[in-house]
Amino acid sequence: MTDHSVKPKSVKKVVLAYSGGLDTSVILKWLQTEYGAEVVTFTADLGQGEELGPARKKAELLGIKPENIFIEDLREEFVRDYVFPMFRANALYEGIYLLGTSIARPLIGKRQIEIAEAVGADAVCHGATGKGNDQVRFELTYYALKPDIKVIAPWREWSLTSRTKLIEFAEKHQIPIAKDKRGEAPFSVDANLLHSSSEGKVLEDPAIEPHTDVFQRTVSPEDAPDKPTIIEVGFEKGDAVSIDGVAMSPATILTKLNALGKENGIGRVDLVENRFVGMKSRGIYETPGGTILYAAHRAIESITLDRGAGHLKDELMPKYAELVYYGFWYSPEREMLQAAIDKSQEHVCGTVRLKLYKGNVIVIGRSSPASLYSQDLVTFEDDMGAYDQKDAQGFIKLNALRLRTLAMRKRKLGK
Amino acid sequence: MTDHSVKPKSVKKVVLAYSGGLDTSVILKWLQTEYGAEVVTFTADLGQGEELGPARKKAELLGIKPENIFIEDLREEFVRDYVFPMFRANALYEGIYLLGTSIARPLIGKRQIEIAEAVGADAVCHGATGKGNDQVRFELTYYALKPDIKVIAPWREWSLTSRTKLIEFAEKHQIPIAKDKRGEAPFSVDANLLHSSSEGKVLEDPAIEPHTDVFQRTVSPEDAPDKPTIIEVGFEKGDAVSIDGVAMSPATILTKLNALGKENGIGRVDLVENRFVGMKSRGIYETPGGTILYAAHRAIESITLDRGAGHLKDELMPKYAELVYYGFWYSPEREMLQAAIDKSQEHVCGTVRLKLYKGNVIVIGRSSPASLYSQDLVTFEDDMGAYDQKDAQGFIKLNALRLRTLAMRKRKLGK
Amino acid sequence: MTDHSVKPKSVKKVVLAYSGGLDTSVILKWLQTEYGAEVVTFTADLGQGEELGPARKKAELLGIKPENIFIEDLREEFVRDYVFPMFRANALYEGIYLLGTSIARPLIGKRQIEIAEAVGADAVCHGATGKGNDQVRFELTYYALKPDIKVIAPWREWSLTSRTKLIEFAEKHQIPIAKDKRGEAPFSVDANLLHSSSEGKVLEDPAIEPHTDVFQRTVSPEDAPDKPTIIEVGFEKGDAVSIDGVAMSPATILTKLNALGKENGIGRVDLVENRFVGMKSRGIYETPGGTILYAAHRAIESITLDRGAGHLKDELMPKYAELVYYGFWYSPEREMLQAAIDKSQEHVCGTVRLKLYKGNVIVIGRSSPASLYSQDLVTFEDDMGAYDQKDAQGFIKLNALRLRTLAMRKRKLGK
Amino acid sequence: MTDHSVKPKSVKKVVLAYSGGLDTSVILKWLQTEYGAEVVTFTADLGQGEELGPARKKAELLGIKPENIFIEDLREEFVRDYVFPMFRANALYEGIYLLGTSIARPLIGKRQIEIAEAVGADAVCHGATGKGNDQVRFELTYYALKPDIKVIAPWREWSLTSRTKLIEFAEKHQIPIAKDKRGEAPFSVDANLLHSSSEGKVLEDPAIEPHTDVFQRTVSPEDAPDKPTIIEVGFEKGDAVSIDGVAMSPATILTKLNALGKENGIGRVDLVENRFVGMKSRGIYETPGGTILYAAHRAIESITLDRGAGHLKDELMPKYAELVYYGFWYSPEREMLQAAIDKSQEHVCGTVRLKLYKGNVIVIGRSSPASLYSQDLVTFEDDMGAYDQKDAQGFIKLNALRLRTLAMRKRKLGK
């Protein structure tokens, strides 16, 4: 009945990315019953805003041995080693999406593999569906870090293809079902410290505006305060290091920016994007802190980054964002691009002043000890010889030379 | 005293880009007195929001023969042949700037050359300074279209290097001076149908927020109405063709979007950018209609443009924007990129629904007869076989193959 | 026993890419017996150098109805619509490979689909293996042109996984087997008018030089004549149109260049390349005429193509080559790139003089009515004012401005 | 008479890039007489193949104080820190040129600046003309390393604009003139360890084959031995480290490869290229060792570099080569690209076997302890499960999904 990709019985011990929710609890049990495998659960706090205590309890209830339950707070690692490097690149997928879901998968996958090696597991398992990008992101990570790992993707394998069958399976195996989980959720949610995403079902028609209930971590611009909030974000080497002069850890900064963004209605995006697996999908994203951070980083770069470096970064960015979105975090080409980007960030430091107001992030000032902005050069006033306007003529003449040559050819050929 | 680049007396007839303002009036007179040249004035309506009547009168007053006064309404040509092709590319310079000034220069320069050929002039003249980008944009256009044209750039040549000297020259030559032009303007303004820019002088410190007086064509988000405005923009082949179902000409659409953007506080940008001539400068831009158009175009592309086409466009865009910003509109490489971009726009049609609210342009719906979005493919529900989740496994396995090979090498080499 | 991807019995009529060789004859019979399908054979002359008569006879022998046998000479279409457009791009995969196999697949696939529509077939079938690129190229073409076509790829499906089983099947079904086909071929060959490739088996170790027997359409440089051959290739709009002043059709030109290349030992390449399906493979390619054409095209471009156009082409080329190699000929992004490339070729015309000698293609002269090369500009002699050396100073000063600003920062920051 | 860019008398001490030849000797004297400056000479051995003793003697004869004469052997630094990093990138300008002249300028310029700082000079001077690229390369280097340096470019400034005037000046100032330097050289030569270039005068017509006298460091393919030479080049981290198993320093390797290339007629290129200053020029280059090195590096990468890394390198290469050619070695964007490239070279090690024969560099074998080539994966034989051909179907189906969606739209829209 079940068309396994990895043969049952062939797996001894499997590390499951476990949220404690109904779906991954069913997977847990299914791994025990179908594969006869010893299950190790891994539950990570990436800032999704749920307590982890219940996940431990539920795992125990489902028969997982205490030494097989891994629960970890990865928020600092997530922001420091994944979110911040990505923001150095000003990464936007398809011009808009700040990659909040994409960037979390490589970290979860990496920890699963590390745990698998620590406990001697021969397989890993995730709860992503067969239509989405997350399956790719998880599995590319697994294979890149442990090439002989066995991968179990229940949603591509099993026969529990409807909500009804899932609930039946849960009931049959005494898996507790929260009341509000009996029915179908009206849409699907993913969340971490960078963003929350909502998609599917009632959100599937891109012609229809999402109901306000969809939004979880931002008030609407309309409901945001009538008075702007002014903040200052400090940067070192391209990373945010302080808010209003107070130094904070990466996760603390993002948490704080999330709170500021939330109350000012910042970071909502409603878009249709192209999945790596080939179809278009519609997503509603809320990235309050990330949206502020993106604007602030661009602003501090605007005075500290050389034009050549900045334009090269802009040209490389779409490729970088595509790699992160597609799941190629652990690929040589992403690492090459990161090396180039990081090289550019040495002097990206200073302070950006921002006005947050009803959905807007407005840059109102930037300053830096490493500023390349020179009032002497640019001034309309007397510049004391910093710039010789005569130079512009030669500059233009030589830039024009090839265009003039083309024009002479056109004239000569009569077209 | 004056270090001419083009020798005086060597010019017989010159076509001057003439606004009717004080500066270009001084230039006009200076061309007559220093070069002894017959001056032809060219004044264009690109939607800068000034009446052209006074420019004609003033030219006559300064002794220009009626047949040497050219006044033209270029608004439709501007939007149809310059603004819209550029918006097909989603062009943003340095991630932010919608290129409102850059895109106007090639059209003005082109008309100057056409007029020069019509009246038999051997030179053209513009009023841009020696520090900015506009001199480059004008002159690259001139040379690309008429390789042997003589170019006069008074600001790089003359000795009227202070406001006082300019006023003295004006008084000496009976050039009328409006009362409010006697003193220095606090900053410099450029405007057309796409945007207005403000820069220089009081705006030169990027750490200081611009005073509200700077803004000319938008209310502030704070002052915008508390109720959102909902509109629908229709597209054909990548260009906007209607608002709320009413078909309009290109310039009419942009005018209408400007009005909508203005009253909703949309399109203000305060940035530090990198000039082609090598220094950073700070600009305040207002692009109300363009900001709406940009969002709408991205949204209609999101359902009608293939992923391969869209990602290629995103990769080409920074180069395209750089070319426009630098003044290379009439270059083979801009035309090559345009050919690629235009090729992609054939099916970019349909309707985008937008909510305009206090600085925000929020996409709330898109639909198209040419939509590539397929609910059948993406649905979380039963998709009737449109997509076989089993395919994902092979897809991932082969995408992972090279990463696994790398991982096996790492293991083998012990690093 | 056989794990069909398309269910047997579900196919009524299938268009098979049929070479007349043993493998595709076995496939033909297998389609009849396993699928019970009516088979339509399509055999194309793409210049592979084999007569087509035997293919017709063999198809008849295997029971194909005359109206189901399609034999076509596609050489002109192949060179005109596939090879030449690709050469306009100077396409090299991984810096070396002239894409001889890749470029033939879209044409074969396209004709299969056209025939399928003409005869009302519901499926197509190819004889490419499950490890190579050709399966991808064929099938992406099929799906791009007829999205609901059924695709049969016997090598991924059947159980004839060894030479022995294949021969058994052939014998069982009275398929004639040429004596020299009984044993395993020592390597696998693909050929068309552009190139022939050899790979697999005895060629699998990239540390070992291929035996001279491998080469089929070139003498070795060592065996080539001691006297050079001088030729002139004429171009119009980027395509070769004549040899030594004699106008010829596209296929005739390539045939002639092949003969010239062959006798002068030109166009052998031994490389390790990266397949789209994820592994590295070693190929031996012979592209005698193509190698000459590539050098000649670059040379005519060198005097007729503007720098901006040329550099943009060079930047786009790797992406273009990748698309062709991966099989995305019929994709929007390949068509966009082609539009850009073709736009650049309008004035790529003139004559290139070449010396062919023992593996070398040496450019010894180029001339064009549309040349952009200007002796006046470049001369070390007096240039009569064509170029003002003083302009260089301003050009350099402004190009240096941002670098000087960076250096001043470094000094200020003490690093 | 002389239109100085830097005012005479304003320079106290100037570091001159001094070859000891007639032209730079005239410059030396001109700096003394026109500028009244103390001249410091810098003569570097970059492998140009001239003795440096005479340069010292001549400098002394022209009155330079011994402590102001700097003569240095920079060959190892040149190859290790400039040539090799560039070859890691497989840099080819306009598809052909190995950048032999371009890559030497940043090193010479850097040493001039270092000497200027050591001796307290306020200016530097080079002997490049006002039409070429070298002036740009020198001066961008100067400004990038010492932003306030004064730059003297005599060829753009002085009135010695003909050979006759130059000789007159030399005679007047008792500068010794070698007999063969009295007349005009028939073309201009630049040489270093990587290449020699010849251009100008008799070579200015690109339709005419260069006379055999032009070539200086290679025999012609016709004159090369009838027997091939077989060599093995060893690599570590992307750099050549040995020939035929013998470890050598960078400059020794290049010297040895030059000898091998020279005798086998390798590395001649005759091309028309686009200069940064805007015109096309024709150059004859000989890069014997570099041509071998390029082929060897590509070959070792072919088995050790991942596809993603390799394709990214190929996409970045044209930009990298352009930067080197234009003179932007010391720019943030070249350094960013270098960081990306170097990141990719960690495992580029192993041995490449080459056959050198009459102009040909033929790769006949490559092997590496870090090879990514897997016979198991690619084999036509039984691969023991290393690759599951079934995976290809899913891979193709999902890659085709968007193309099928496009095809369905086309059908629906009837176009």
User: Partners of A229 in the beta sheet?
Assistant: A356
A23 assigned to active site? yes
Q: What pLDDT band is residue D327 in, cutting at 50, 70 and 90?
A: very high
User: Nearest CA to A215 among A226, A207, A205, A223?
Assistant: A223
pTM attached to this predicted model: 0.97
Radius of gyration of chain A (CA): 26
Pick from D268, D279, D318: CB nearest C374: D279
pLDDT at B181: 77
Residue A329 CA to residue A141 CA, distance in Å, equals: 8
Q: Please judge whether A156 and B322 are an interchain contact, meaning their C-beta atoms are less than 8 angstroms apart.
A: no
Taking CA B394 as the corner, what is the angle to CA B393 and CA B395, rounded to the nearest 5 degrees? 90
Dump pLDDT digits (tens) for B127-168: 999 999 999 999 999 999 999 999 999 999 999 988 889 999
B237 & B143 share domain: no
**Closest in C372, C388, C392 to A405, CB measured:** C372
Give φ, ψ of B206 to 5 degrees. -70, -5
User: pLDDT tens for residues A85-125?
Assistant: 999 999 999 999 999 999 999 999 999 999 999 999 999 99
Backbone angles phi, psi at C400, to 5 degrees: -85, -15
Interface contact flag, C402 B332, Cβ < 8 Å? no
- Cβ D307–B402 below 8 Å, yes or no? yes
- B380 → closest Cβ in A139, A188, A375: A188
Chain-centre distance of CA B376, in angstroms? 40
From the list D65, D1, D3, the residue with the least C-alpha distance to D32 is: D65
> Is the pLDDT confidence value at C366 over 90?
yes
Does the annotation place A283 within a ligand binding site? no
CB contact under 8 A, A336 and D343: yes
What are the phi and psi torsion angles at D373 (to 5°)? Answer: -75, 125
Q: What is the mean pLDDT of residues D372-391?
A: 78
Tokens at C14, concatenated = 């299938």
Neighbouring-strand partners of residue D268 = D286
Count of CB atoms within 10 A of residue B177's CB?
14
Nearest residue on chain C to A405, judged by CA atoms? C372
Range of D398's domain? Answer: 375-408
Angle at alpha carbon of residue A35, lines to A32 and A36, rounded to 5°:
55
Answer whether A303's CB lies under 8 Å from A377's CB: no
Q: Please, is C209 exposed, middle or buried when counting C-beta atoms within 10 Å of its C-beta (0-12, 13-18, 19+)?
A: middle
Question: A5 lies in a domain?
Answer: no
- Both C202 and C166 in one domain: the answer is no
Residues of B in contact with D377 (CB under 8 A): 401, 405
Last residue of a domain, one of C153, C184, C215: C184
Verify that A57 and A167 share a domain, yes or no.
yes
pLDDT in tens, D192-216: 999 999 998 899 999 999 999 999 9
Cβ pair B369:D413 closer than 8 A? yes
pLDDT band at D270 (very low <50, low <70, confident <90, very high): very high
Nearest CA in chain C to A413: C370
Residue B306 and residue D391: Cβ atoms within 8 Å?
Answer: no
**Cβ-contact C272, C280 below 8 angstroms:** yes
When comparing pLDDT for B180 and A317, which is higher?
A317
Sign of CA dihedral B90, B91, B94, B98: negative
Summarize the confidence of residues D148-174 as an average pLDDT.
Answer: 93
Which pLDDT tens digit goes with each residue over A287-325?
Answer: 999 999 999 999 999 999 999 999 999 999 999 999 999
A366-394 pLDDT tens trace: 999 999 998 877 776 666 667 888 999 99
Regarding whether C279 and C379 lie in a shared domain, the answer is no
Size of interface A-C (CB pairs under 8 A): 72
Give the gap in angstroms from C-alpha C407 to the nearest C-alpha of chain B: 14
Q: Residue A306: its chain D contacts at CB < 8 A? A: 331-333
What pLDDT is stored for residue A56 in this prediction?
95
Q: Distance between CA C127 and CA C24 in Å, rounded? A: 6
Domain assignment present for B336? no
Nearest CA to C268 out of C127, C97, C107, C113 is that of C97
Cβ of residue D406 closer than 8 Å to a chain B Cβ: yes
Q: Answer whether residue D345 shows pLDDT above 60.
A: yes
User: How many structural domains comprise chain A?
Assistant: 3
Catalytic residue among D81, D122, D163, D188: D188
Q: Which residues of A touch B230 (CB under 8 A)?
A: none
Integer Rg of chain B from CA? 26
Task: Give the tens place of pLDDT for each residue, C80-89.
Answer: 999 999 999 9
Q: Does D411 touch chain B if contact means CB atoms closer than 8 Å?
A: no
The answer on pLDDT for C375 being more than 70 is: yes
Mean of the per-residue pLDDT values of chain A: 94
Query: What's CA D205's distance to the chain center, in Å?
Result: 24
Those residues whose C-beta lies under 8 Å from the C-beta of residue B221, and which sit 6 or more positions away, are A357, A358, A360, A362, B265, B268, B358, B359
Average pLDDT score over chain B: 94
Residues A179 and A251 in one domain: no
The C-alpha atoms of residue C11 and residue C9 are separated, in whole angstroms, by 5
Residues 290-349 of A with CB under 8 A from B: 298-299, 302-303, 307, 310-311, 314-315, 317-319, 322, 328, 330-332
Q: Are residues B133 and B197 in the same domain?
A: no
Residues C231 and C380 in one domain: no
Check whether residue A162 and residue A295 sit in a common domain. Answer: no
Interchain CB contacts (distance < 8 Å): A and D: 80
| Residues B219-268: tens digit of each pLDDT | 999 999 999 999 999 999 999 999 999 999 999 999 999 999 999 999 99
Chain C 383-402, residues with CB within 8 Å of chain B CB atoms? 398-402
Report whether A290 belongs to an annotated binding site: no
Would you say residue A204 lies in a domain? yes
Q: Which of D41, D46, D51, D34 is nearest to D15 (CA)?
A: D41
Cα R_g (chain D), whole angstroms = 26
The verdict on D21 and D162 lying in the same domain is yes
Chain segment C88-112, per-residue pLDDT in tens: 999 999 999 999 999 999 999 999 9
**Could you tell me if A218 and A264 lie in one domain?**
yes
* D301 and D214 housed in the same domain: yes
In a domain, C152, yes or no: yes
Write down the pLDDT at residue D377: 77
> Is residue C116 in some structural domain?
yes
In this predicted structure, what is the pLDDT of residue A375?
80
Distance (Å) from the alpha carbon of A409 to chain D's nearest alpha carbon: 14
> Do residues D391 and D353 both lie within one domain?
no
CATH code of the domain containing C225: 3.90.1260.10
Can you say whether residue D36 is alpha, beta or left, with left for phi > 0 and alpha for psi between -120 and 50 degrees?
A: left
Q: Is residue B273 part of a domain?
A: yes
Rg, C-alpha atoms of chain C: 25
Give me the residues paired with residue B70 across strands.
B42
Nearest chain A Cα distance for residue C395, angstroms: 4
Q: Is the pLDDT of residue D1 over 60?
A: no
Please report, for the domain that includes residue C132, its CATH number: 3.40.50.620
Q: Which of D184, D209, D228 is the last residue of a domain?
A: D184
- Say if CB D208 and CB C365 are below 8 A apart: yes
Annotated binding site of D for L-aspartate: 129, 133-134
Looking at the DSSP bridge assignments, the partners of residue D44 are D72
The answer as to whether D92 is a domain residue is no
End-to-end, the C-alpha distance of chain B in Å comes to 71
For C13-29, what is each residue's pLDDT tens digit?
A: 999 999 999 999 999 99
Establish if A414 belongs to a structural domain.
no
Whether residue C333 and residue B312 make contact (CB cut-off 8 A), yes or no, is: yes
